[in-house]
Structure 1
Amino acid sequence: MFKSEVRDSTINALLEKAGSRNYGRYLSKIVLKRVRGFSNEPVSFDFPVTAIIGPNGGGKTTVLGAAACAYKIVSPRRFFAKSGKYDESMQDWSIEYELVDRSINQKDIFRRTATFKNHRWNRDAPERSVLIFGVSRTVPANERSELLRCASGTFSVPDNQIAEFPNVLRDAVSRILGKDVTGFRQLKLHANGEVTLLTGVTKTGTGYSEFHFGAGESSIIRMVAGIEVADDQALVLIEEIENGLHPVATIRLVEYLIDVAERKKMQVLFTTHSNEALQPLPSKAIWVATQDRIFQGKLDVRSLRAITGQIETKAVIFVEDRFTKIWVEALLRQGANFPVDHVQIHAMEGDGTAVAMNTYHNKNPVMDTPSICIIDGDSKQESNAEKRIFRLPGESPEAYIFDAVVESWDTIGGKLSVALLQRFENSDHVKKTCISVRQQTMDPHLLFAHVGEQLGLIPETTVSAAFANLWAQANPEIVESLISPLRDILPADIAVANI
């Protein structure tokens, strides 16, 4: 299981800070009243580092651009250029903002609007430093016109225009890239430092220029350098944060941005197609753009194909989290003659997100694949057969399955022991371990992880699947009652052909 190096206390403190709007400058909320395919779609920034995910053309950059246009320093044409008669749809575009700026209103938020009417943008935008890192940041040095004069055998700069990396830059880059950048330099091509060339050094001490850097390596150094010298409480916008980066480097970059949000009180928005970029973030920090709707909540990026209808399947199930997905997969496998290969299950990491995605999916006229939502027994969301929202038994899924299996130990204990990679004859020891774990574990979500630890570092997913599958095998009547709603939404030819 992924464990971020950012402390939970830091995440919670930043959530509270954003919730109370305890900033000198902060973009609290935007409403896309009418922009491209969006109509009255709100996006609140409940955490100072926000990820925008979605399919290509879903509107990620639209949200990023709308945020940028809140401030005077950014020209709207940077994101929303009009090309004569070919962009007639821009007429009457409108974006509303809720902002914090203590130099304008010391006690509360204030509102502004940006509109496009009569072929021009109209707005009363406040001041704020805004840094924009577009996808062009990963263009190799040998393709950047401002560096072409450096590609010469006689190129050099005076010693007073060569700067070592400041400690904070060196430490941050080293951690993100997983390599020591001691000895790296910035060469100022002009005295004002507006254009620079980077140089590095190998482990053996051989120097090399940015022309031999990897695209990700160069972009990280320049991005971090720009952020570190920027004003506190600046707004940072990053397109496709994972471009040119290894998945681990992507995670470390997002963790660095969370540190910046805490240390420099900055606000960061980035777009991504990467699951790794989402891992360090809380659910409130993630928004999904789907061409005409925007949803808040953490999910697996792969599930976007289901949300937008880009799937080769006959039915979709949205569930709350990973364990519920494991349980529902067990239900389908054990269901009599159920066409498992025609159904996809997607964990949304939250009951509200699962319900919202199911509602959107079934209402969207372009999607011909039906879906249902299965919520946990302790969910505060309402089950509703008409809306295809169904509830699992028990209050906590993990506790319900765990307790039911232990109670049926006499009939399935030996099988469970083998499924947990133990000897059949050691089932009494396995049972004692399960009982001990149940007594000592306060959080039901940790039951399977703790059993795995006690029995020899067995992966949590292995333990979860063993419990869920054996429960399903032992309870065929409950299984059938739970999967019957899904049978009802399958196309008749699929449902009948498999019975």
Structure 2
Amino acid sequence: LVKKVKEKFIRNEKIYEPYIQSIRFPKYKSLEENTKIDLDFPVVALIGENGCNKTSVLQALYGAPQNQSVGDYWFETDVDKIDDFGKKNCFIYDYIQPKLGKKVETLKTRVKKPNNPDYWEPSRPIKAYGMDTLSKAELLKYGNKATTRWDQINKNVVYCDCKEYVSAYDLFFYHFNFKISKRYRSKQDFIRSRSKHLSHVIESGSTIYNLWDKNQIQSNEKLSNEVCNVVSQVMDEDYSEIRIVTHTLYSNGTINKPAKTIWMKKNDMSYSEAFAGTGESRVILIVNDILNAPKNSLLLIDEPEISLHPKAIINLKNFLIKQALVNNQQIIITTHSPQMIKGLPSKAIKYMSETSNEKINVSNITDYEEAFFQLQDKIEKPIKIFVEDKLTQAIVQRVLRDKFEKFMQQKVSVQIIPGGAKNICKRHP
């Protein structure tokens, strides 16, 4: 799959447009000034230790296209201040302008407004940031709507945020401040009572269910056969039916927004997220969101591997790569999983790490094993160099120590096989 994506991308990159080619940060959160991330493969993985701004990069990409704002996720409060001293927080991304046929850059800047202190607006090019400026006539010549800057990219965005995938059952059972009453002696009593209504909604497929003069159902969706098939492939199970009901039946009169119940039939069993594993429910929501995304969308997925076993992670990765191949999706993920990035080309793996001055640096080309060596994971297949004697061994080890990073020093094993080159070749043809 990776090879097919690579060949398609090289052969006709235009198929993936509109496509964000790269993003750079004159100032943004804890990233080193002018950090640039190249997005030169349709599937890109951001990896690194916790707290190295991986999710922050996803949020910047979320806010890049027109009508999108980073402020939807990153905003200032009295508890969490945003540093806007000196340079304002901003980022610059580039894409191929259709009529010009070349890359152009767009700048988005955080600007405090009286009615919106976390407003992000497209700004004029700034020469200090290495941006080119064009006249009004030149911009209009290429069909640009703005007269002082290039238009923002027009690209659909799907942001799969791990924090948003919390089911109705989990929200109530684990997060609601339940109080004992004459009617409900426990949380279990409350769920048993409300599940009678929910069961009727699931069985009937109804989108209207009035309780206390209020409709409790926002949507009742039977997922497509394609979603069932993909979830079956990822989880290595047989799902014959999946339904997502968005409702307020478990809200107990709170003002919480409607939440989702995931109901499924699998291997002649039927159950909801209350009996399902966290990873199972989450995969269903991710797969459904992705399969409902239009072609050429920007898919941003925060740690897709959460609560999944290694085989399911590999299957989910293959599904994502296939989406890039079939639907020309541009996919950016954050991950801590070796299975999720194994097999990706080095230019698709971006390693984010903290520097000595407590800023975050990004390496744009990272070998899969090097990335996880940096995260203190073991090296799977060390390279073996066979030599004839101790002197040659010492020379090679010295070169490795002087010329290469610790990763290569650990990855390469220099072993002596006496008896000359013919003996080495005989034993290790």
The TM-score normalised by the length of structure 2 is: 0.67
Give 1:4-15 correspondences, 5 Å limit. 6=1, 8-15=3-10
- 1:64 to 1:406, Cα distance in 2 relative to 1, 3 A: farther
3-state SS, counterpart of residue 227 of structure 1: helix
Shift of the 25–153 alpha-carbon distance from structure 1 to 2, 3 Å rule, reads: same
Q: Partners of 1:184 and 1:108 in 2: how far apart? A: 45
Q: Does 1:250 align with 2:313?
A: yes
Secondary structure (helix, strand or coil) at the match of 2:241 reads coil
Q: Match for residue 195 of structure 2?
A: 152
**What secondary structure, in the 3-state scheme, does the structure 2 residue paired with 1:221 have?**
helix
Residues 146-170 of structure 1, C-alpha deviations (whole Å, 9 max, x = no match): 9998942332213355654323212
Matched, 1:46 2:40: yes
Distance 1:23 1:174 in 2: 28
Is contact 1:41–1:294 with CA below 8 Å preserved after alignment? yes
Contact conserved, 1:101 with 1:109, CA < 8 A, in 2?
Answer: yes
Equivalence for 2:231:
173
Cα RMSD over matched residues? 4.3
Partner of 2:24: 31
1:331-384 residue CA offsets vs partner (Å, 9 max, x unmatched): 99x979xxx9xxxx99xxxxxxx96xx4xxxxxxxxxxxx596699xxxxxxxx
CA separation in 2, counterparts of 1:302 and 1:140? Answer: 32
Please say if residues 24 and 101 of structure 1, whose CA atoms lie closer than 8 Å, have aligned partners that are also in contact. no
Structure 2 equivalent of residue 388 of structure 1: none
Using the TM superposition, give the Cα deviation of residue 98 of structure 1 relative to its aligned residue in structure 2, in angstroms: 0.3
5 Å matches for 1:253-332?
Answer: 253-291=316-354, 292-296=360-364, 297-300=366-369, 301-305=371-375, 322-324=381-383, 326-327=384-385
Q: Give the 5 Å matches for 1:360-399.
A: none
Structure ranking higher on relative contact order (CA contacts 8 Å, 6+ apart): 2
CA deviation map 1:359-418 (0-9, x unaligned): xxxxxxxxxxxx596699xxxxxxxxxxxxxxx9xxxx99xx999977342xx79xxxxx
Q: Deviations over 1:234-283 (max 9, x none)?
A: 11111112111111111111111111111111111110111111013211
Contact 1:99 1:110 in 2 (8 A): yes
> Equivalent residue for 2:157?
130
Once residues 109 and 77 of structure 1 are traced to their aligned partners in structure 2, the CA distance between those partners, rounded to angstroms, is 26
Bigger proportion of residues as strand = 2
1:407 corresponds to which letter in structure 2?
A
Matched, 1:235 2:249: no
Aligned residue number for residue 198 of structure 1: 262
Structure 2: how far apart are the matches of 1:51 and 1:331?
A: 42
1:209 pairs with 2:272: yes
Q: Specify the alignment match of 2:284 in structure 1.
A: 221
Specify whether residues 178 and 34 from structure 1 end up closer, same or farther in structure 2 by C-alpha distance, changes over 3 A only: same
Task: Give the SS at the match of 2:50.
Answer: coil
Count matched residues.
341
Unaligned segments of structure 1, at least 5 residues: 1-5, 312-318, 347-353, 359-370, 377-391, 414-430, 435-447, 452-499
Three-state SS of the structure 2 residue aligned to 1:281 is coil
Question: Equivalents in 2 of 1:145, 1:26: separation in Å?
Answer: 40
Closer, same or farther in 2 for the Cα pair 1:179/1:93, shift >3 Å?
Answer: same
Q: How far, CA to CA, are the matches of 1:107 and 1:402 in structure 2? A: 56
Cα shift at 1:46: 0.9
How far has the Cα of 1:189 moved from its partner? 4.7
Is residue 185 from structure 1 mapped to residue 239 from structure 2 by the alignment? no
C-alpha change, 1:251 and 1:151, in structure 2 (3 Å) is farther
Conserved? CA contact 2:159–2:300, under 8 Å: yes
User: How far is 1:322 from its partner?
Assistant: 4.3
TM-score (norm 1): 0.58
Residue aligning to 2:62: 68
Quick one: distance in 1 between partners of 2:282 and 2:159? Answer: 13
> Could you say if the C-alpha distance between residues 15 and 229 of structure 1 is closer, same or farther in structure 2, counting changes exceeding 3 Å?
same
- The one-character-per-residue Cα deviations of 1:214-248 (angstroms, maximum 9, x if unpaired) are 11111111111111111111111111121111111
Distance 1:80 1:282, change over 3 A: same
Task: Encode CA deviations 1:9-32: one digit per residue, 9 max, x unaligned.
Answer: 333323554xx4543311111011
Distance 1:406 1:12, change over 3 A: farther
Distance 1:160 1:247, change over 3 A: same
Query: 1:25–1:128: 8 Å Cα contact kept in structure 2?
Result: yes
Contact 2:76 2:118 (8 Å CA) reproduced:
no
Match of 2:271, SS?
strand
**1:67 CA drift (Å):** 1.3
Amino acid at match of 1:55: E
- Is structure 2 residue 421 aligned with structure 1 residue 407? yes
User: Which 5+ residue runs of structure 2 have no aligned equivalent?
Assistant: 123-151, 177-189, 208-219, 249-257, 355-359
What amino acid does structure 2 have at the position aligned with 1:277?
Answer: M
> Deviation digits for residues 4-56 of structure 1, max 9, x if unmatched?
xx262333323554xx4543311111011111232111101111111000011
